A = this chain, B = another copy of it.
């Protein structure tokens, strides 16, 4: 089966938030587990050619994550954040910051919501809330969409092969 699920990014002008929506042909428990289990994240969260490793992976309320993406040319990008809520299988609330920003302090509040759909399907909605409209626009213009399309397709494959 080839999935037709689309990645939809909504960034309303003048707002400091954006929404990413994507449906998956897998039950909510499986999709939630994929986004909250470091061993599974390592299997789909980095685009091909990029190596991901966790420096910290404490996926629980009050825990934190810190991962590095290493590109084929050797350059590396680290992101980190803290978990404010981890309510299986419906919601994750976390902070996110990209260490490569020109200055520190540009944290994002990120809320992942997992909704059950008919037919054992799931809608994932990610709301990213930024310090400013400029920060939000920079995120959108960083090419996040092409990266997300790739990793969500990788997750489709993984979910297909996994025992739900």
Query: CB within 8 Å of B: which residues of A?
Result: 14-17, 62, 64, 81-85, 87, 91, 93, 95, 97, 104-105, 107-109, 111, 127, 129-131
Contacts and interface: CB of A to CB of B under 8 A. Distances in A.
A interface SS class: strand
Top 7 closest pairs, chain A to chain B, by CB: A109-B109, A84-B95, A82-B82, A93-B107, A84-B107, A62-B64, A82-B84
Contact of A16 (B16, B84, B105, B108): B16
A60 B17 CA distance: 27
Nearest to A108: B109
9 contacts: A14-B14, A16-B129, A62-B82, A93-B105, A95-B95, A109-B109, A109-B129, A129-B129, A129-B131
